């Protein structure tokens, strides 16, 4: 890649002195991970900081923050710790894979081993399922159950399939996601766990043991003895439960122009279908509740010109912009990080309008 660039994009970083969370633009090269502050849709130079990867250790998944399940932890040779949050499990794992490769760049054999491990399968011998379940129930270090919603229904005391996979890996019961999926399927076979909701129940019909459990952030599971269901609850938030019940088809970090102050902020956008809605979240907050959103039915989406600042856009913001006009004529100005990303978002939204 150009100039030794391995990967770049938005991540949410925990501050060193004040432990608040802020979106930064990260650029990964062979020896360093550099991050920039963004203002007005542009990255501010010089860089805000630099992480030297030589001698670094990486922890992924990192479960030190209960409300931030998509973390990567880096620890430098000087014992400085960095916590970085991605917008999805896939994006987190892609960053972790590239960073791990960059850390071991001087060891070709190690890099080759990492590539082979990515799809390796080796279940640790003599696993005690009872011991695993006991640890899962631990009030301090166990898997955390909470109410989760699927297709308008709320299921009490459940956890996500991808969260259990993360937990099994972080507790060293398995070394890969494939192993964790197989182990979780065994826990279901022995009636320690049971699937909850449409997604996870559908996977049970698969004849392959390794495919019965879903490493998925939309598949719900529970301990067999705590199976309870509550349908159509009253939500404390003003957003309709119907809005959030659709299937997630795309998510990622995008910059958005505010409606009142017209300032630009990075938000985590989540695109859902059936029903078609686009919601956005404040990644600096721990609450997993949208700060805004709108129905895509009857909406129009289009790319904005890249030469100069388009009409309706405030400040010197240009490049990779697109606009969504809702059915009630509200205009949303959004900026992607590249032309390719903008094209992907426009195509995904057009399919649902």
Mean pLDDT of the region 42-46: 81
Is the Cα torsion angle 229, 231, 237, 239 positive or negative in sign? positive
Higher pLDDT, 31 or 267: 267
Q: What is the percent of the chain with per-residue pLDDT over 70, rounded to a whole number?
A: 85
Contacts of residue 309, defined as CB under 8 A and 6 or more positions apart, other chains included, come to 315, 316, 317, 318
Q: How many helices (H) and strands (E) in the chain?
A: 8, 19
Residue 44: what pLDDT? 82
Mean pLDDT of the region 255-282: 91
Structure tokens of 168? 């099994």
Per-residue pLDDT tens over the stretch 198-254? 888 877 765 444 456 888 888 999 998 644 443 334 433 445 677 877 888 999 999
Give the full edge-to-edge strand order of the sheet including 42-52.
42-52, 32-39, 21-28, 7-14, 81-85, 71-75, 57-62
DSSP-based three-state secondary structure for 165: helix
Residue 148 β-bridge partners: 155
Residue 174 and residue 67 in contact, taking contact as beta carbons nearer than 8 Å: no
Q: Does 122 score more than 50 pLDDT? A: no
Q: For the chain, which domains are there?
A: 5-108 (2.30.29.30), 129-223 (1.10.10.10), 239-351 (2.30.29.30)
Structure tokens of 137? 């129930």
């Amino acid at each position: 890649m150009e100039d030794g660039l391995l990967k770049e994009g938005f991540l949410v970083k925990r501050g060193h002195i004040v432990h608040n969370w802020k979106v930064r633009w990260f650029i990964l090269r062979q020896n360093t991970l550099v991050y920039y502050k963004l203002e007005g849709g542009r990255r501010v130079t010089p860089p805000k900081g630099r992480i030297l990867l030589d001698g670094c250790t990486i922890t992924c998944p990192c479960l030190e923050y209960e409300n931030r399940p998509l973390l990567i932890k880096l620890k430098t040779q000087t014992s400085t710790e960095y916590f970085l949050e991605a917008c999805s499990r896939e994006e987190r794992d892609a960053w972790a894979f590239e960073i791990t490769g960059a850390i071991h760049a001087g060891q070709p054999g190690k890099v080759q081993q990492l590539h082979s491990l990515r799809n390796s399968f080796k279940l640790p011998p003599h696993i005690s399922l009872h011991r695993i379940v006991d640890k899962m129930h631990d009030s301090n270090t166990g898997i955390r159950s909470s109410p989760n919603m699927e297709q308008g229904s709320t299921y009490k005391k459940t956890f996500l399939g991808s969260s259990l996979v993360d937990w099994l890996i972080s507790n060293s019961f398995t070394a890969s996601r494939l192993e964790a999926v197989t182990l979780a399927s065994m826990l279901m076979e022995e009636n320690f766990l049971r699937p909850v909701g449409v997604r996870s129940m559908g996977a049970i019909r698969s004849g392959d043991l390794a495919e019965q459990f879903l490493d998925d952030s939309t598949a719900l599971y529970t301990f067999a003895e705590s199976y309870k269901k509550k349908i159509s609850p009253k939500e404390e938030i003003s957003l309709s439960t119907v809005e959030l019940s659709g299937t997630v088809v795309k998510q990622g970090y995008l910059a958005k122009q505010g409606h009142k102050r017209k300032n630009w902020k990075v938000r985590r956008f989540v695109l859902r279908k059936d029903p078609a809605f686009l919601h956005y979240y404040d990644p600096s907050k721990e609450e997993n509740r949208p700060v805004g959103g709108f129905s895509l039915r009857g909406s129009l989406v289009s790319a904005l010109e890249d030469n100069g600042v388009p009409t309706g856009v405030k400040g010197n913001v240009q490049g990779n912009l697109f606009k969504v006009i809702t059915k009630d004529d509200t205009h949303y100005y959004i900026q992607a990080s590249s032309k390719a990303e903008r094209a992907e978002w426009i195509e995904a939204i057009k399919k649902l309008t």
